[in-house]
Amino acid sequence: MPKSRTSSADCTNTYIKLFEMFDKAGVPPETRWRSLLLFFREMKDYHYLDQDQKIALLAQMEDILKSKHYTEEHLVSTIRRCSEIFSKPIVKQLDSMVHETASVIDQFFSKLSSRYGDISHLESESMAIVAESADSTMMLEKLQSAFHRVKVLFEEDICTLENLAFIDPLTEVSNRLSLDLFMKNASGRWLADRHPVAIALFDIDHFKDFNDTFGHLIGDQVLKVVGSHLKRAREEFDAQTEAMAGRFGGDEFSLMASGPDAHQMARVINRFCSAIKNFNLLIRDTEGNVVKNNLHITVSAGIAVLDSNTPQVQTIEQLFERSDKALYHAKHNARSRAVVIKPNDKFLILDEENDVSI
């Protein structure tokens, strides 16, 4: 009980000092202004904000304290600017998804248009065969050959359309739809047979700065490199374990595993992070000449496992949230490395010396 009273007193003293600071800064006692400034002050603890968002919001707080324009209009405009800052990454991701979707639709209609031409050609070819062939056996063979050719083209189209639906066209790893379906199936296997599930989430460190420096075309090459390494990492799981490498969008990737070998996820991702870190990235001009050499990128990863040792985790959604927490810890405490969230909810930072199974 004394400890609780002490904590309560400390909290009260903190807020008294804050309100005294607000009084000195001329902040009116109107609740909304003070609540907004308190939000700005505590935002370092909000893991859902990236560094750019925090910098932009800090600039908003400085502007408020310097201008001392505590009007209703300024409050409304400040909240509107904050909303824009919050939504900017989402809008950017949606824009990227829209462009990728538009590309898929264009490819679909291109295939459809091509097949309309093939069907029209098949019709005229069939009529010509019937008109010129006196021998019924020969006529049937020619018709079968013509129809078989179009059938093969349609089968190829089905494979292409499946790829368009489930494969990320840039990196050639699975897309978000595939990852969502994998998580749904993994959830079923866990509930039915208690097969362990592991999820690793990761993104490329300082990818925005890299894009701004070298351009989006080079950034796309980086995404392809990461996708290529991730596909190789997927193959490290045994045959009894289902694994999927995928891209959620932007520079956000995932590796998922469901089965007895899922506990090897930490080892697999640790080696993957090292392989990316040691990869020598070349930048070439339009003629193929190397214009910049020895560039390196890194990734930060968060890993979580659902098994009998984690009774506090009941669903795949909770597992995903734990992976996200581990990724957040990695980005703020262990850049270029992987972090495992353990069954006791503590974080383990991996490196080449502690390559472990979990």
What is the pairing mode between strands 197-204 and 242-249?
unpaired
Mean of the pLDDT values across residues 190-209?
92
Specify the DSSP element, H or E, that contains 330.
helix 316-333
> What pLDDT, on the 0 to 100 scale, is given for residue 125?
65
> What pLDDT, on the 0 to 100 scale, is given for residue 3?
45
Three-class SS of 221-285: HHHHHHHHHHHHHHCCCCCCCEEEEEEEECCEEEEEEECHHHHHHHHHHHHHHHHHHHCCEEEEC
Residue 203 shares a structural domain with residue 185: yes
Asked if the structure places residue 28 within a domain, the reply is yes
Arithmetic mean of pLDDT over the chain: 80
Residue 211 shares a structural domain with residue 119: no
Asked if the structure places residue 47 within a domain, the reply is yes
Residue 235 shares a structural domain with residue 102: no
Residue 209 shares a structural domain with residue 124: no
Asked if the structure places residue 88 within a domain, the reply is no
Query: Could you tell me what percent of the chain has a pLDDT over 90?
Result: 36
Query: How confident is the model over 162-172, as pLDDT tens digits?
Result: 666 788 989 99
Name the pLDDT band for 224 (thresholds 50, 70, 90).
Answer: very high
> What pLDDT, on the 0 to 100 scale, is given for residue 13?
61
> What pLDDT, on the 0 to 100 scale, is given for residue 146?
67
Q: State how far the alpha carbon of 261 is from the alpha carbons of 215, 228, 243, 257, in Å.
A: 39, 22, 10, 8
Most confidently predicted of 29-38, 158-167, 240-249: 240-249
Residue 266 shares a structural domain with residue 325: yes
Residue 204 shares a structural domain with residue 327: yes
Structural domain total, the chain: 3
Closest CA to 283 of 219, 337, 228: 219
pLDDT of 254 > 50? The answer is yes
Asked if the structure places residue 358 within a domain, the reply is no
> What pLDDT, on the 0 to 100 scale, is given for residue 4?
47
> What pLDDT, on the 0 to 100 scale, is given for residue 9?
54
More confident residue, 89 or 280: 280
Residue 190 shares a structural domain with residue 52: no
> What pLDDT, on the 0 to 100 scale, is given for residue 237?
95
329's CB contacts (< 8 A; 6+ apart) are 302, 339, 341, 347
pLDDT of 196 > 90? The answer is yes
Residue 201 shares a structural domain with residue 338: yes
Residue 159 shares a structural domain with residue 293: no
pLDDT of 199 > 80? The answer is yes
CATH number of the domain to which 228 belongs = 3.30.70.270
Last residue of a domain, one of 144, 166, 188: 166
Asked if the structure places residue 171 within a domain, the reply is no
Asked if the structure places residue 256 within a domain, the reply is yes
Most confidently predicted of 117-121, 201-205, 215-219: 201-205
- Can you give the pTM of this predicted structure? 0.62
Asked if the structure places residue 66 within a domain, the reply is yes
Residue 270 shares a structural domain with residue 302: yes
Domain that holds residue 42: 2-70
Q: From CA 96, how far away is CA 86, in angstroms rounded?
A: 17
Name the pLDDT band for 209 (thresholds 50, 70, 90).
Answer: confident
Residue 298 shares a structural domain with residue 234: yes
Q: From CA 210, how far away is CA 206, in angstroms rounded?
A: 6
Asked if the structure places residue 354 within a domain, the reply is no
pLDDT of 27 > 50? The answer is yes
Name the pLDDT band for 352 (thresholds 50, 70, 90).
Answer: low
Residue 309 shares a structural domain with residue 275: yes
Among the ranges given (29-38, 99-108, 232-241, 325-334), the one the predictor scored with the smallest mean pLDDT: 99-108
The total number of residues written for the chain in this structure: 358
Q: From CA 170, how far away is CA 184, in angstroms rounded?
A: 24
